[in-house]
Chain A
Amino acid sequence: MNLNLHVWRQSGPQDKGRMEQIQATGISADMSFLEMLDKVNEDLIAAGQEPIAFDHDCREGICGTCSLMINGVAHGPDGATTTCQLHMRSFQDGDAIYMEPWRARAFPVIRDLMVDRSSFDRIVEAGGYVSVNAGAAPDAHANLIPKAEADLAMDAAACIGCGACVASCPNGSAMLFVAAKIGHLAHLPQGQPERARRARAMVAQMDVEGFGACSNHFECEAVCPKEIPVRFIAEMNRDFLKASLCGQE
């Protein structure tokens, strides 16, 4: 099939950037979305033009590197998937496809469709861990954890940190990401000693990075490739408020 692509092109952080129209030809339905881009890039290179820069690595939907706003939807129309797992059979010959980078103050564009998501790392660095040195751990069975709790922790921990939540949020909010990180550890006994501190520190860093607030639109949940539920945001709010207002300084 042939497609009419509208792609955000921006040569670097200083460039203003613009949408560019590119024809994609000879695309087969079995291709993944990124393989379609590979093909377009090969054609661009052959034509002496610069290929489209986009982020990707594992192409299995787990590393969270790929990131595209496709026709206004983060990771495209399929739902519960990443761009790398989206296939061209979800599109039809002659379709127009708009591709844009994640848009958020805290995700500056590097080039074309690539953005800088290091703000996510800084949020985790602020406190998203259990302070245990290698070698200091008790036996793995020292703590029994009810299966239901362990499963909940895993539901949150499944987050791949792609940033689709931010991209899809009308407020550019990172609440779902931060809530998943906090929720993962809050549901485990290992996470308890630092629970209050963690919630405070991570939320504070989230604010410093310039992400928006949550207006409970739940757009994040709708596009999350790992279907992380917004219940974790409610839990984070509670943890944060409790820690900030009642916990120890």
Chain B
Amino acid sequence: MNRTAKTLRSTIGAKALMAVTGVALLLFVLGHMVGNLQVFGGRDMLNKYAHTLQSLGPLLWVIRGALLAILLLHVWAALQVTRANRAARPVAYEHARQDLATSYAARTMLVSGVVVVLFLIYHVLHFTVGAVDFAGSYGGHADLDGTEVHDVYGMVIGGFKHLPTALIYVVANLILVMHIAHGAASLLQTLGFRSQANAGKVRAFGLGFGVLIGIGNLAMPLSIMFGMVGD
């Protein structure tokens, strides 16, 4: 254990931790997206999905706890690495260092990460807890095969019909896409799976993953905002 801890504190180990937690987060984001896309299947479909999740009981809390821990590890490592990186160049260049190879997404990982955290908090407070609800769509109930369940469908539709709320989701997801587009490719290099031969594919994978999440996650607020979905 001591050895693992030591490894994780090294520059490469900390990055590997980010990559591994990143994989988990990516899978979560992907799964979360696929689940939510059921909004296009109508009220019953989404509500059923949400109800199934909620009836997991303690298991749901275990999953939530794990996700939170993973996210915290990711953030902890991000801060660790960022601190080491800043300390590595105490005196800045007078003439700005020119970027020749990197991308906007890569340069703004910390910023995009922070935005994602803020968004996550907002997202949880909005749809899970209902504490922040600009649209006032939280708390409805609906009938699902005879049982009364949370009307998640109605909440989503109502939420995204509210323009400012929808815009928050659109912008936040665009930023998440940036984080992912660099992150998904980057983690393959960090974990040593990128080579000269597959470099192009790795890039495409990152981009592809990001775009996929982007299309899926943006489809919901946009289509609802423009009234293409919902009653």
Which of the candidate stretches B6-14, B36-44, B56-64, B155-163 sits at the interface with the other chain? B6-14
Do B101 and A72 touch across chains, with their CB atoms under 8 A apart? no
Cβ-neighbour of B11 out of A69, A100, A207 (below 8 A): A207
Do A170 and B107 touch across chains, with their CB atoms under 8 A apart? yes
Cβ-neighbour of A170 out of B4, B81, B97 (below 8 A): B97
Do A241 and B90 touch across chains, with their CB atoms under 8 A apart? no
**Cβ contacts under 8 Å, B16 to chain A:** 237, 241
B1-35 at interface with A (beta carbon < 8 Å): 3-4, 6-7, 10-16
Measured CB to CB, the nearest residue on chain A to B16 is A241
Using known A-B contacts A216-B190, A231-B195, A238-B192, determine if residue A244 contacts B98 with beta carbons closer than 8 Å.
no
* Interface residues of A, count at CB 8 A: 51
Using known A-B contacts A103-B89, A237-B190, determine if residue A168 contacts B107 with beta carbons closer than 8 Å.
no
Do B101 and A103 touch across chains, with their CB atoms under 8 A apart? no
Min CB distance A39 to B, Å, is 22
Which DSSP category, helix, strand, loop or mixed, fits chain A's interface? mixed
Measured CB to CB, the nearest residue on chain B to A239 is B192
A73 within 8 A of B: yes
B residues sitting closer than 8 Å to A (CB atoms) are: 3-4, 6-7, 10-16, 81, 84-85, 87-102, 106-107, 109, 182, 185-186, 188-196, 199
In the bound assembly, the distance between CA atoms of A31 and B189 in angstroms comes to 40
Question: Known contacts A213-B81, A234-B190, A237-B192; can you find 13 more A-B pairs with CB under 8 A?
Answer: A8-B94, A71-B95, A72-B96, A98-B94, A106-B88, A172-B85, A204-B10, A214-B190, A217-B102, A218-B102, A219-B99, A222-B100, A237-B190
Do A241 and B12 touch across chains, with their CB atoms under 8 A apart? yes
**Cβ contacts under 8 Å, B91 to chain A:** 103
**Cβ contacts under 8 Å, B189 to chain A:** 214, 216, 230, 233-234, 237
Cβ-neighbour of A213 out of B85, B98, B100, B106 (below 8 A): B85
Min CB distance A12 to B, Å, is 15
Min CB distance A36 to B, Å, is 17
Do A72 and B95 touch across chains, with their CB atoms under 8 A apart? yes
A215 within 8 A of B: yes
Q: A201-229 CB contact bits vs B (8 Å, 1 = yes)?
A: 00110110011111111110111000001
List 19 A–B pairs whose Cβ atoms lie within 8 Å, in order of A's numbering: A69-B97, A72-B96, A103-B91, A103-B92, A104-B89, A168-B97, A170-B107, A172-B88, A204-B10, A211-B88, A212-B87, A214-B12, A219-B99, A229-B196, A237-B189, A237-B190, A240-B10, A241-B191, A244-B7
In the bound assembly, the distance between CA atoms of A8 and B94 in angstroms comes to 9
**Cβ contacts under 8 Å, B190 to chain A:** 214, 216, 234, 237
Min CB distance A116 to B, Å, is 14
A19 within 8 A of B: yes
Cβ-neighbour of A69 out of B4, B13, B93 (below 8 A): B93
In the bound assembly, the distance between CA atoms of A78 and B83 in angstroms comes to 32
In the bound assembly, the distance between CA atoms of A212 and B229 in angstroms comes to 48
